[in-house]
Structure formats: C-alpha cells, structure tokens
C-alpha cells in the first residue's frame, strides 16, 4: 500500500534558523508528492508539490526535491520566520487522486 | 470566490445523536473528499466522490454516510454519533478528471466535532 512517514515533532526554532522536515514514502506506481501546511485554526493549503523524480517544488522560500532513489521528499527552508509556525504534512497521491498523509510535524518559530 | 466552505464550524453532540456536515465548493471541481484529523495521525480519508453521482469508501468509512447532492455539494452524515467520532472534519475538492496523481486538493476550514 501507500504510506508516508515524516519526522516527528514538535520542532522549535529561532527566527532565521534553517528548517528541515524529513519525509519518506512507500508507494505502488509513480506517485506525486506534496507538502501541505496548516496554520493555526485553519484548513490545509498546498505549500508545494512535485510530480516526477528529480523535480523540485518551491514556494514561499520552502523547497523539496523528489528523490526516487531514496524515496524521500524532505522539506527545507533556509531562514524561517515566526509566520512559518504551523503544522506541515507530507502527502502522496497515485493515479486515483486520493492523498495519503503523514502524521504532521508541528513547527514553532520563536522571535 | 469562497473556495471550499463547511458548516457548522463547531458542534457538540451526545452519543447516539445524528447530524450532517455540509460542504460546498465554487471552483467547478469534479472530485470531493471528507477527511478526519486526529492528533498524531495526520488526515484519514472517510469517503470521496470522484465525480458527480459517484461515492466511494476511503480508509475509515464505518459510522458515516455521504451524499453528493450535486457537483458543488458533498455532505457527511453521522447516523448515531459515538465518542470515537470526536475529531476535526475537513472537506476538500480537486479538479479530478485527467490531472491524475498531480491533482491538487483544496481544503475547507474544518468542523470541530465533540461527541459526549
């Protein structure tokens, strides 16, 4: 079956620190990979995605590269801000549109 | 353009009561989904509707029913609520069709349900 494993949190950082959240996956077929973000009290919104091996998704200073050889899609940001405090979810989708989510990683950035 | 809307935002039920969660989207999307979010478990798919007129079970369908009322609306019904159904419920929609695995889902703000 399809599954996603992501780094457990919570993660607490100072402003301008480097953020990495690890994500690995297991999938049948050729999945698309996603990072969704959930800000406090809100629904999820797409942060970035990659649809094939070696693609790099990027948005709002965040980046993630689809690594087929290591079945990974790690999220990185070089300099976090307080406004980046949120829960981050790694997810995958195969041909049937359904998303399989990781457990989520709570990130808190302190000023 | 409101995107995906859900009602109500909060609800408290007693065990055995029934209720319907409403969801609507204004993006002309073909596919719609219901998820539940529980601490430490990410989001789990309850039911989905790939297109108007079709519905299918997801990962955790027991205790729920759904209705795809039209292309815009997809409701989730709890016939006899149980404390195990205390959760945050999210509706989502996506274009579906030929987008395949690259399909992006758009989420509503959620309904926080407590069953006593």
Tell me: the pLDDT tens digits for A56-67? 999 999 999 999
A68 to each of A29, A53, A55, A84, B29, how far by Cα in Å? Answer: 12, 6, 10, 28, 30
DSSP H or E stretch at residue A77: strand A75-77
Q: What angle do CA A50, A51, A52 make, to 5 degrees?
A: 105
Between B100 and B48, residue with greater pLDDT: B48
Q: Are strands B10-13 and A86-93 parallel, antiparallel or unpaired?
A: unpaired
Q: Which residues of B touch A86 (CB under 8 A)?
A: none
Q: Backbone dihedral region of B23: left (phi > 0), alpha (psi from -120 to 50 degrees) or beta? A: beta
Answer yes or no: is pLDDT of A97 > 90. Answer: no
Smallest Cβ distance to B102: which of A43, A51, A89?
A: A51
A25-79 pLDDT, tens digit each: 999 888 999 999 999 888 999 999 999 999 999 999 999 999 999 999 999 999 9
Nearest CB to B43: which of A29, A42, A101? A101
C-beta separation of B101 from B74 below 8 A: no
C-alpha A59/C-alpha A32 separation (Å) is 17
Strand A32-38 and strand A44-50: pairing? Answer: antiparallel
Q: Could you tell me if A92 and A2 are in contact, meaning their C-beta atoms sit under 8 angstroms apart?
A: yes
**Cβ–Cβ of A97/B103 closer than 8 Å?**
yes
Q: The dihedral of CA B20, B26, B27, B30: what is its sign? A: positive
Among positive and negative, which fits the CA dihedral B85, B89, B91, B97? negative
Kindly report the nearest CA distance between residue B108 and chain A, in angstroms: 6
- Rounded mean pLDDT, B14-35: 96
Q: What is the pLDDT of residues B59-105, one digit of tens each?
A: 999 999 999 989 999 999 999 999 999 999 999 999 886 666 667 89
The position carrying tokens 């069953």 is: B115
List chain A residues with CB under 8 Å of B90: 43-44
Say if the Cβ atoms of B42 and A89 lie within 8 Å. Answer: yes
Nearest neighbour of A49 by CB, restricted to B31, B104, B107: B104
Residue B42: pLDDT band with limits 50, 70, 90: confident
Option in B4, B40, B105 nearest A103 (CB): B40
Cα(B104)–Cα(A48) distance, integer angstroms: 10
Judged by a CB distance cut-off of 8 A, whether residue B31 touches chain A is: yes
CA distance A44 to chain B (A): 6
- Cα(B23)–Cα(B63) distance, rounded to whole angstroms? 18
Closest approach of A9 to chain B, Cα-based (Å): 10
Tokens of B21: 């969660």
Contacts of residue A89, Cβ cutoff 8 Å, sequence gap at least 6 = A6, A35, A36, A37, A38, A44, A101, A102, A104, A105, B42, B43
């Amino acid at each position: 079956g399809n599954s996603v494993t992501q780094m457990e949190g919570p993660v607490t950082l100072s402003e301008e620190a480097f953020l990495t959240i690890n994500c690995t996956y297991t999938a049948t077929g050729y999945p698309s990979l996603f990072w969704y973000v959930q800000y406090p009290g809100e629904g999820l919104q797409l942060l970035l995605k990659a649809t094939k091996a070696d693609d790099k998704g990027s948005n709002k200073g965040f980046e993630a590269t689809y690594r087929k050889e290591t079945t990974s899609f790690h999220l990185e940001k070089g300099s976090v801000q307080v406004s980046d405090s949120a829960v981050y979810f790694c997810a995958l989708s195969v041909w049937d549109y359904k998303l399989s989510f990781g457990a989520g990683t709570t990130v808190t950035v302190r000023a | 353009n409101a995107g995906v809307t859900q009602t109500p935002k909060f609800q408290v039920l007693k065990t055995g009561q029934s209720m319907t969660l409403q969801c609507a989207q204004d993006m002309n999307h073909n596919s719609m989904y219901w998820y539940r979010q529980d601490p430490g478990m990410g989001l789990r798919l309850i039911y989905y509707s790939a297109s108007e007129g079709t519905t299918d079970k997801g990962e955790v369908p027991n205790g729920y029913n759904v209705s795809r009322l039209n292309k815009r609306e997809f409701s989730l019904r709890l016939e006899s609520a149980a404390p195990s159904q205390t959760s945050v419920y999210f509706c989502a929609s996506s274009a579906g069709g030929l987008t395949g695995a690259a399909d992006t889902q758009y989420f509503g703000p959620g309904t926080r349900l407590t069953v006593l």
